[in-house]
């Protein structure tokens, strides 16, 4: 039953996404494909996947325990805090903390999680900011 509900919700989301895509105004300077193509492709893929889930559901799933659901909720809270603190703390600091926490919850020891957090943050910063020249959120220290 839960797969059917999930599939129907996905179909409704795809319909809403497609309606929003059709509401995009086209400029007279747009290319041949136009700005609606990509959102409509995403809506189509979502609709097909949701229809398959709704029409061919799996047997009733075994839901995780309350403690596991709390861990998932904590990870969602960390990601929400990450998005809120990114402009304040900057990319390097916010990403290091978020990646360290998520690494720790995925099974790394505390020391490994800190190393992964710092390595992930610095690695992404080097690739995206220094190599590709993309702008990332600057923190209180200017990086």
Task: Measure the CA–CA gap between 15 and 116, rounded to whole angstroms.
Answer: 40
DSSP 28: T
Same domain, 59 and 3: yes
Same domain, 18 and 85: no
Q: Which tens digit of pLDDT belongs to each residue from 10-25? A: 999 999 999 999 998 8
Q: Which tens digit of pLDDT belongs to each residue from 61-91? A: 788 899 999 999 999 999 999 999 999 999 9
Q: Which tens digit of pLDDT belongs to each residue from 22-45? A: 998 877 766 777 788 889 999 999
Same domain, 71 and 57: no
Q: Say yes or no to pLDDT of 138 above 90.
A: no
What is the percent of the chain with per-residue pLDDT over 70, rounded to a whole number? 97
Model confidence, pTM = 0.61
Same domain, 71 and 138: yes
Same domain, 70 and 133: yes
Same domain, 29 and 78: no
Q: What is the domain extent for residue 136? A: 65-142
| End-to-end CA gap in the chain | 49
- Helical residues (DSSP H) of 1-143, grouped into ranges: 2-22, 37-55, 66-89, 91-105, 110-125
100-127 burial, b if ≥16 CB within 10 A, otherwise e? bbbbbeeebeeeebbebbbebbeeebee
């Amino acid at each position: 039953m839960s797969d059917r509900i999930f599939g129907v919700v996905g179909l409704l989301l795809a319909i809403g996404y497609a309606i929003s895509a059709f509401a995009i105004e086209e400029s007279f300077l747009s290319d041949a494909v136009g700005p609606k193509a990509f959102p409509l492709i995403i809506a189509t893929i979502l609709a097909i996947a949701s229809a398959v889930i709704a029409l061919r559901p799996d047997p009733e799933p075994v839901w995780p325990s309350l403690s596991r659901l709390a861990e998932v909720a904590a990870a969602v809270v960390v990601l929400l805090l990450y998005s809120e603190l990114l402009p304040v703390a900057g990319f390097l600091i916010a990403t290091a903390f978020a990646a360290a926490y998520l690494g720790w919850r995925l099974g790394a020891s505390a020391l490994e999680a800190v190393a992964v957090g710092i390595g992930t943050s610095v690695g992404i910063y080097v690739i995206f900011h220094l190599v590709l020249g993309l702008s990332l959120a600057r923190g209180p220290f200017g990086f």
